[in-house]
Structure 1
């Protein structure tokens, strides 16, 4: 695959690394547009790919163009590349909150994939949810799966509203997990555990619990019940969560994220 990236910050660099490491493409067939000179030179050194500060240079060298600029830079970027795409080229956007129609109008191009990766994609453990315009053909759909699959798991959805839902769940979700971990570490420290011990306990707790779920054939509620002895320590803690309406707070938080995603998407 001949692939171009426009914008190569943290997520763009993660995509670049993944498609080379997983042999989705070769450095010779990859082009990167990055306006930051130091970043551009570092990318050329680290990955041996073609680099330029001119987006038109990389578009004409590629079959697939990945838009990875910051949302606030999209309008200016679209002015520079509008109308420069050929029939048969595919654009994959990972720009948060920007809908397909906005991209089609701004780029003067119809074959658009909109994808929502999350932070763990930077280490190949991401969850990317994506959808495509009607102009994207079967081969391009397969190519998209291959590219996004290099970042971890990928799920195709048939409508953009599901992308907004995914943004609220898996896109923003790492921050929810990190907040809970922070809170648990802080609670452990207040009990008297030193920070390094508390952090190690919580890190392994998360790793072990996730692996346990993956390897179990039981639903989450059954697994929770297995840990919770009546009248025991876990039951005491869960009662506090229930009294504070943890489930309701999580639902409220996810709904707020979903509504914000729809607002940003226009």
Structure 2
């Protein structure tokens, strides 16, 4: 595989770009976005950027769909249907099922993946589901997502649970950390020591 395309280089999309370029510098990464800020960030992380989703799909061996679910049909309508044929496509959109992806993206080899914000530090726990039993395709997809953390192959019905557990988990942990630090500070410890000690405790 020589190239990966990111449709929607927002927070998760741009984190994926940065992780992929860090993991495999020679990999060509193409990215689309709706705003100048999004495109500038993707460019800074090493992607070739465009507002043209068809350009990204046409030039990519693997396409990661990272737009909001309600923008999905807008993106689909901008790409000629034959561009999807035989393409490896991974959706990181919540709630859009494999059945829907297969019906809309006719001829594509579709996967769903649920990474989390820990992708930013290459420590994501990503669940992947697919109806594709081709071992070569699965190995390639797993290799891409291992660039930014661990990978779990799961049945599709697990993904909604995964979103609650792993997707929202970092926010809950951040609240717990803030509470512990605040308690220590209110008892007289400096914030710097309290914060570092709490992180060491959790990491351990």
Question: Is TM > 0.5 for Structure 1 vs Structure 2?
Answer: yes
Aligned partners of 1:45 and 1:170: how far apart in 2? 28
Could you tell me how far 1:201 is from its partner in structure 2? 2.0
- Counterpart selection for 1:140 from 137, 158, 171: 137
Could you tell me how far 1:45 is from its partner in structure 2? 4.7
Q: How many pairs were matched up?
A: 203
Question: Against the structure 1 CA distance between its residues 20 and 8, is the aligned structure 2 distance closer, same or farther, given a 3 Å change threshold?
Answer: same
- Counterpart selection for 1:168 from 164, 168, 173: 164
Question: Against the structure 1 CA distance between its residues 41 and 175, is the aligned structure 2 distance closer, same or farther, given a 3 Å change threshold?
Answer: closer
Contact 1:82–1:107 under 8 Å retained in 2: no
Q: Counterpart in 2 of 1:19? A: 20
Query: Which 10-residue stretch deviates more, 123-132 or 171-180?
Result: 171-180
- Counterpart selection for 1:89 from 87, 90, 97: 87
Partner-residue secondary structure (3-state), 2:85: coil
Structure 1 segments (4+ residues) deviating >4 Å? none
Q: Counterpart in 2 of 1:33? A: 32
TM-score with structure 2 setting the length: 0.88
Contact 1:63–1:88 under 8 Å retained in 2: no
Equivalent runs, 1:122-161 vs 2, <5 Å: 122-134=120-132, 137-157=134-154, 159-161=155-157
Contact 2:85–2:106 under 8 Å retained in 1: no
Could you tell me how far 1:11 is from its partner in structure 2? 1.4
Deviations 1:49-99 (A, max 9, x none): 432111111111122111111233223223323624343211111112222
Q: Counterpart in 2 of 1:253? A: none
- Counterpart selection for 1:184 from 171, 180, 186: 180
Structure 2: which 5+ residue stretches go unaligned? none
Could you tell me how far 1:34 is from its partner in structure 2? 1.9
Aligned partners of 1:82 and 1:133: how far apart in 2? 24
Larger radius of gyration: 1
Equivalent runs, 1:58-73 vs 2, <5 Å: 58-73=56-71
- Say whether residues 1:7 and 2:1 are aligned partners: no
Aligned partners of 1:126 and 1:15: how far apart in 2? 10
Question: Against the structure 1 CA distance between its residues 82 and 185, is the aligned structure 2 distance closer, same or farther, given a 3 Å change threshold?
Answer: farther
Q: Counterpart in 2 of 1:107? A: 105
Structure 1: which 5+ residue stretches go unaligned? 210-266
RMSD: 2.1
Could you tell me how far 1:123 is from its partner in structure 2? 0.9
- Say whether residues 1:198 and 2:194 are aligned partners: yes
Contact 1:70–1:95 under 8 Å retained in 2: yes
- Say whether residues 1:77 and 2:78 are aligned partners: no
Question: Against the structure 1 CA distance between its residues 202 and 102, is the aligned structure 2 distance closer, same or farther, given a 3 Å change threshold?
Answer: same
